[in-house]
Amino acid sequence: MSSNNSATVDRYLEAIFYIASEGVIVRPGRLATWLSVSPPTVTEALRRLERDGWIRIKKDRSVLLTPTGLKTASNLVRHHRILERWLTDVLGLDWATADDEADRLSSAISDFLIDRIDASLNRPLTCPHGNPIPGREAPYGKLIALADLKADTLATVRRISEVAEHEARDLLLMLAEHAIGEGSEVRVTESKLGSHDVAVMIADEPIALSIEAAQLIWVEVAA
């Protein structure tokens, strides 16, 4: 069934899962930025989460999910990503709006209904941004950040970092505006243009991206 935890517990568990899945050490300051709350608020919330067995706080203040926390977080993320896929593929919402609506629904919706939605979508492997649905293997091989792609190398967009959903919403909106998403072909034409940008051709359209934005787009180099 759906999570019976408070919305705050669910938000923190999901945020910790997302940050850790990007290969980043989860620290209180990072969570404060991700959740748009003050550092003291995060500190108090983490104390309660550790007390209740959801997380473990190490001596260096980094945060790890316990097995119980990981199981709950994985289920929340599964709900979120399946809902995003339904909201975009079936209802036609843009990425940013679908993410907002999935945030509101993921904790409240039952596992039964999620399973029915999942089946109706033929059990997709990823969310619309290419991030794997927990429990399923990603349908791609080794990925590199677009910022690290060598000039004139053809690649395919496979994943948009979860960071973009929470801290770079303008990037999501720009990609949606240009119909750029999972499966779009990309080629860097000039790296570090003006020391700040990466000039790329995506879906045959020239676009200049900041280095920061290009680090949030993960691609698979063509065989």
pLDDT digit string, tens, across residues 99-122: 889 988 888 899 999 999 999 999
Contact 208, 193 (CB under 8 A): yes
The contacts of residue 120 (CB under 8 Å, 6+ apart) are: 86
pTM > 0.95: yes or no: no
pLDDT of residue 193: 52
Q: Answer whether CATH 1.20.1440.80 is correct for domain 7-69.
A: no
Domain boundaries, the chain: 7-69, 144-221
pLDDT of residue 192: 57
Of 194, 223, 211, 222, nearest to 148 by C-alpha is: 211
Mean pLDDT of the chain: 88
Token representation of residue 44: 């108090």
Of 200, 90, 91, 80, nearest to 129 by C-alpha is: 80
The contacts of residue 6 (CB under 8 Å, 6+ apart) are: none
Cα–Cα distances (Å) from 75 to 1, 68, 88, 138, in that order, read 10, 11, 20, 17
Contact 89, 81 (CB under 8 A): no
pLDDT of residue 66: 97
Contact 26, 40 (CB under 8 A): no
Q: Could you tell me where the DSSP H helices lie in the chain?
A: 7-21, 28-35, 39-51, 67-89, 95-105, 111-120, 162-167, 169-177, 211-214
Of 223, 183, 179, nearest to 205 by C-alpha is: 179
Percent of the chain with pLDDT over 70: 92
Q: Which fold has domain 144-221?
A: SH3 type barrels. (2.30.30)
Statement: residue 157 has pLDDT above 80? yes
